[in-house]
Amino acid sequence: MKINAVMLSAMMLAAVLCGSASAMDGEYELVIKDHHFSPPSLAVPAGKKFKLVVKNEDATAEEFESYDLNREKVVAGRSQITVFLGPLSAKTYKYFGDFHQDTAQGTLEAK
């Protein structure tokens, strides 16, 4: 039986989409408000890649920084960033807001 070019293209596209969907486990969100991260502790999957969206509801910029995660990214006021992480080992990873280190602190709990 012959497979036409359109059918073959559709099958290839489906394979690519399924592959990329399984490569990313999920999306998680942190919110910066009043120079605090919410939630202060976030459970994420160990051993899997995931996307972390950091939304800054404050008017001023903040920097999402983590020595444990080897990440540093500025989040402009009233905007958001995306940070791709993983796969992580099962443990606790600390992060902080570099511009407000006294209040903007949190952890990712990889389980």
Print pLDDT tens along the chain (111 aa). 455 555 545 544 444 444 434 456 799 999 999 999 999 999 999 999 999 999 999 999 999 999 999 999 999 999 999 999 999 999 999 999 999 999 999 999 999
Residue 11 CB neighbour total at 10 angstroms: 11
Q: Where are the domains of the chain?
A: 25-110
Pairing type for strands 62-66 and 36-38 reads: unpaired
Distances (CA, A) of 11 to 5, 19, 20, 74, 95: 10, 12, 14, 40, 42
Give 109's contacts (C-beta < 8 A, 6+ positions apart): 41, 42, 43, 44, 92, 93
Q: Give the pLDDT score at 4.
A: 56
Q: Give the pLDDT score at 72.
A: 97
Report the CATH number of the 25-110 domain. Answer: 2.60.40.420
